[in-house]
Amino acid sequence: MRKIISVCMAMFMMLLVAIPVLAVDTDYSCSPNSTGITIEKYLGSEENVVIPDTIFGNTVTEINSRAFFENTTIKSVKIPATVTFIGELVFAGDTSLTSISVDPSNPNFASDGTLLYRKENKRAISYACGSPAKSYTVPSSIKIIAPNCFWGSQNLVTVTTNKGLSGIGYYSFAKCDNLKSLYVSDPSTFIDPDLFFEMNPATTIYYDGEIDLSSYPAYSLKILPYPTETTVPPTKPVVAPKETDASQPSSTGKADTSTSAVSENSETTVVTDESTTVGEPSSETVTEALATAPVVEKNNATLIKCLVAAGVLLLAAGVFTYFYMKKRKTSLPGSEKK
């Protein structure tokens, strides 16, 4: 019986030791996908976050929309090489976030330090809205500014876009309360009318192209001709991201998980929504896989309570077994002393 109790106690101690080890990966709420695992929500409290490439043995391949939304603690974040999809508003409202970096071996995403973008279509996804910079010039290699890209960037006063920019998505500068000037240098750049949603009404947009605001009478921002280069206020130069071999919040009903691309025809350029992921199977396959797989919620407190409860049950089982066997032994014929 002593051996049984010793084994139960050993198992209980092993569970207690395992608690801090298992808690390492419980900073994330996740769900399975067809290629690995999707981070749904960050639950941790670290200031400098290094997103793991695996969680409980599953490869992290996707970071869903709003996964780090309005987290005011994070100062820097690093994205692993395994990630193939990043949703909208992923870092929106992170007012302390000043640095976004990506593992250099990631074939899909890169960053210039503050601007996260997709390599394949040069689509800017998210700006580190806690950056102290007052002005920002979009790198020359960027072709698309995705919806919600600069959402909540409170420190920005002046933004200048680059020549060759195809489009600016909806709500890109929402909640940028101190933004005063937006210089759109290319007149062929398509501007989604919903760009102006929750934009600072004191913002002046300098743009030589056409914007149809007939359906948006509530938008009263000033739109002026783009000035000559000699009159544009100087902005802090931004080094264009290096090329590699591998080649939002809104309650208005727009799909948060959509991505933005620019489709062109003979007359106009339109910013549209799509849901493509590098190397990802068809949307039907992914939807079916997610529908049949339960969501895995990982919570520190719940996990610890479960482990402690399991240990207590094991210990109780050992004690019960000891007394039961002892009682049975005394009740057997010949067990009493004559």
Mean pLDDT by 10 residues, the chain (338 residues): 59 49 65 95 96 94 96 97 96 96 97 96 96 96 96 96 94 95 95 87 90 67 77 50 45 40 39 41 42 42 60 74 71 54
Cβ(147)–Cβ(154) under 8 Å? no
pLDDT at position 139 is: 95
Residues 273 and 323 in one domain: no
Residues 128 and 78 in one domain: yes
User: What radius of gyration do the chain's Cα atoms show?
Assistant: 28
pLDDT at position 14 is: 56
Residues 48 and 190 in one domain: yes
Residues 47 and 171 in one domain: yes
pLDDT at position 58 is: 94
pLDDT at position 12 is: 55
The DSSP string of 73-136 is S--EEEE-TT--EE-TTSSTT-TT--EEEE-TT-SSEEESBSEEEETTTTEEEEE-TT---SEE
Residues 38 and 173 in one domain: yes
- Strand duo 222-224 + 204-206: pairing: parallel
pLDDT at position 333 is: 59
Q: Any idea what DSSP says for residue 34? A: S
Domain range holding 20?
A: 1-26+299-338
The structure tokens 């950056």 sit at: 131
Residues 107 and 216 in one domain: yes
The rounded distance, in Å, linking the Cα atoms of 119 and 104 is: 12
Q: How many domains does the chain have?
A: 2
Angle between helices 2-22 and 300-331 (to 10 degrees): 180
Residues 15 and 48 in one domain: no
pLDDT at position 324 is: 72
Residues 220 and 285 in one domain: yes
Residues 306 and 287 in one domain: no
Residues 73 and 177 in one domain: yes
Q: Any idea what DSSP says for residue 151? A: T
